Amino acid sequence: MKIGILGAGNVGGALGESWTRHGHEVYFGVRHPEDPKVLSVLKKCGPRARAETPADAVHSSEVVVNALPWPATKPVLESLNLQGRTVLDCTNPLKPDLSGLECGTTTSGGELVAQWAKGAHVVKIFNSTGFANMLNPVYEGKPVTMLYCGDDAGAKSTAATLAEIIGFDPIDAGPLSNSRLLEPLAQLWIWLAIKGGAGRDFAFQIVRR
């Protein structure tokens, strides 16, 4: 599959590295494709990855991943033609000091992304765990839970497939409005990792009897 990733930070880079490792082609959509940090990400991903402008990355891809910082999400998405595209939204509307979320309860980052990415089929996914788990989502031989939500069945199927390919156990968490639940879950993960003493080598898991 050809995957366009908007942003080449920790999350975008980790996902790109994992997908290229499994044979997919990745196009990083960034402002400065020759930036040394971007080139470092490309080196980790190998020959199946390249960097280009956000518009070119969208044009090159079959599915688009929003891995932008939250403040950059609105202007970038509104500048792109995403009509009919599957967009996997990994962002969380975090306050700059990580003390909370900028929106919630009555809306969510995922729902706002759907407004800004007009005509796209948005799935909230890859937002509720750390980027290191995207490189290796297996604990004691078992895949880590990856919750996702959205309103389009086809887009959700694509999201689940791309999560499962890199080692997650994808679980459908309902409609896109349930981003209001998944984004606070991400905030909890961040609190535990940074302030709660858990570190980054942990993940939430649904266990079955």
Residue 203 located in a structural domain: no
φ, ψ for residue 135 (rounded to 5)? -85, -30
Q: Is the pLDDT of residue 99 over 90?
A: no
91 vs 102, higher pLDDT: 91
Model confidence pLDDT, tens digit, residues 103-123: 777 899 999 999 999 999 999
Domain total in the chain: 1
What was the pLDDT predicted at 121? 98
Q: Is the pLDDT of residue 76 over 80?
A: yes
Other Cβ atoms less than 10 A from the Cβ of 115: the count is 12
What was the pLDDT predicted at 94? 72
CB 34 within 8 A of CB 63: no
What does the pLDDT average to over 129-145? Answer: 95
Q: Write out the two tokens for 142.
A: 């078992």
The model's pTM is 0.94
Average pLDDT over the chain reads 95
Nearest 10 degrees: Cα torsion 98, 105, 114, 89: 40
Residue 201 located in a structural domain: no
Helix/strand number for the chain, H first, E second: 8, 10
Residue 206 located in a structural domain: no
Residue 205 located in a structural domain: no
Q: Write out the two tokens for 6.
A: 């908007």
Residue 207 located in a structural domain: no
Q: Is the pLDDT of residue 209 over 80?
A: yes
Residue 199 located in a structural domain: no
Q: Is the pLDDT of residue 170 over 90?
A: yes
Residue 208 located in a structural domain: no
What was the pLDDT predicted at 16? 98
What was the pLDDT predicted at 129? 96
Residue 200 located in a structural domain: no
Structural domain boundaries enclosing 181: 2-194
What was the pLDDT predicted at 157? 98
Whichever domain contains 74, its CATH number is 3.40.50.720
